[in-house]
């Protein structure tokens, strides 16, 4: 299996600090795409698609909120004079922005307020994504959207190749080595600039014998990661428990 460790520069660093917003407790963040956006996604975003539902923004509740909503970024400013918004993605726009570019509907949260809106147009602009959303007609309305966190349904994420993965899909998977020793569960994914790293948590005992949570880091590269079986919720690695 190839985990594209030879092309690690294609993976984007998370932009959590730039987004300037805290994530909702218990909600997995979008993390990082494992690839650059396909040319077809960018082309579609540049031209826009006015054939999409041009409906207005609507209020949402916890009951109407989609179960597979994943936080992908935040609105940080207005863009231009015609109601466009500027977005910082939780992954660089050049490789994590394609879900924002292609999703038909954005789900928005600010404080206790929930709403959703059709995404009418979206495109990459420098290191950000800019978008025209339903129900936002001018700069003042766009400016008022600052601070909204953006969620997109996981079902609307663009499909990946067989050797590519979204970080959010790896969280919670069991990690087992090639002789069947359980190493823990993926608690987080880290981008160290060279490649992705799995942060794995497992039950352990402290020096006083009391239960603690242990941690190990395993690079997400082909030399160590042998199989990712999302159906079985398991990752098989070439890694010993005492490393």
Whether 36 is in a domain gets the answer yes
Whether 164 is in a domain gets the answer no
Predicted pLDDT of residue 112: 94
Structural domain ending residue among the three candidates 123, 156, 189: 156
| Mean pLDDT calculated for residue range 77-96 | 81
| Mean pLDDT calculated for residue range 83-91 | 90
- Chain mean position to CA 13: 11
Whether the CB-CB separation of 199 and 177 falls below 8 Å is answered with no
Whether 188 is in a domain gets the answer yes
The verdict on 142 and 205 lying in the same domain is: no
Question: For the chain, how many structural domains are there in total?
Answer: 2
The verdict on 152 and 175 lying in the same domain is: no
User: What is the spatial distance between Cα 136 and Cα 77, in angstroms, rounded to a whole number?
Assistant: 13
Element at 228 (helix H, strand E): strand 225-229
User: What is the spatial distance between Cα 91 and Cα 167, in angstroms, rounded to a whole number?
Assistant: 11
The boundaries of the domain holding residue 146 are 12-156
The verdict on 59 and 152 lying in the same domain is: yes
The verdict on 141 and 220 lying in the same domain is: no
Query: Could you read off the pLDDT of 12-71 as tens digits, one per residue?
Result: 333 333 333 333 333 444 444 443 333 333 334 343 444 344 578 999 999 999 999 999
| Mean pLDDT calculated for residue range 99-128 | 94
User: What is the spatial distance between Cα 150 and Cα 65, in angstroms, rounded to a whole number?
Assistant: 13
The verdict on 198 and 226 lying in the same domain is: yes
The verdict on 108 and 206 lying in the same domain is: no
Predicted pLDDT of residue 92: 52
The verdict on 80 and 195 lying in the same domain is: no
pTM of the model: 0.70
Query: Could you read off the pLDDT of 178-231 as tens digits, one per residue?
Result: 999 999 999 998 888 788 899 999 999 998 989 999 999 999 999 999 999 999
Phi-psi region of 27 (alpha: psi -120 to 50; beta: other; left: phi over 0): beta
DSSP code, position 19: H
Whether the CB-CB separation of 101 and 122 falls below 8 Å is answered with yes
Q: Which residue has the higher pLDDT, 46 or 84?
A: 84
């Amino acid at each position: 299996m190839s985990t594209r460790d030879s092309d690690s520069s294609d993976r984007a660093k998370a932009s959590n600090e730039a987004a300037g917003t805290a994530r909702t407790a218990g909600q997995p963040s979008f993390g990082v795409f494992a690839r650059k956006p396909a040319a077809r996604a960018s082309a579609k975003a540049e031209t826009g698609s006015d054939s999409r539902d041009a409906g207005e923004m609507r209020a949402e509740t916890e009951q109407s909120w989609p179960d597979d909503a994943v936080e992908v970024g935040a609105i940080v400013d207005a863009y231009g004079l015609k109601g466009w918004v500027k977005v910082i993605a939780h992954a660089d726009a050049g490789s994590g922005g394609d879900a924002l570019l292609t999703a038909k509907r954005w789900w928005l949260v600010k404080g206790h307020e929930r709403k959703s809106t059709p995404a009418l147009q979206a495109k990459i602009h420098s290191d950000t994504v800019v978008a025209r959303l339903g129900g936002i007609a001018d700069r003042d309305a766009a400016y008022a959207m600052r601070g909204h966190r953006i969620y997109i349904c996981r079902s609307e994420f663009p499909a990946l190749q067989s050797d590519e993965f979204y970080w959010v899909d790896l969280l919670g998977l069991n990690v087992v080595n090639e002789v069947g020793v359980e190493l823990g569960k993926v608690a987080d994914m880290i981008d160290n600039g060279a490649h992705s790293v799995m942060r794995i948590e497992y039950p352990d005992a402290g020096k006083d014998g009391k239960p603690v949570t242990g941690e190990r880091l395993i690079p997400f590269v082909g030399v160590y990661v042998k199989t990712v079986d999302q159906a079985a919720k398991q990752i098989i690695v070439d890694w010993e428990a005492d490393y």
